[in-house]
Structure 1
């Protein structure tokens, strides 16, 4: 019998993440970072 790796999708889903990390993941999905950076870049 082969041993399964510890980081299977089923074990990754069961690991709870801190609220701060969940917030940052959600912000990465919602905020159009590339567009915002393109607007700011000429002034940096």
Structure 2
């Protein structure tokens, strides 16, 4: 049980970091190139 709980917390932490990096990348793209959110999402 402890091993499962530990892996779960690491996975959630990784997920939060990945999502925050994704949103930081979008906001930097919008600020640098002054493009709309739809274009940033279409570029991926």
What band does the TM-score fall into relative to the shorter chain? 0.3 to 0.5
TM-score normalised by the chain length of structure 2: 0.34
Larger radius of gyration: 1
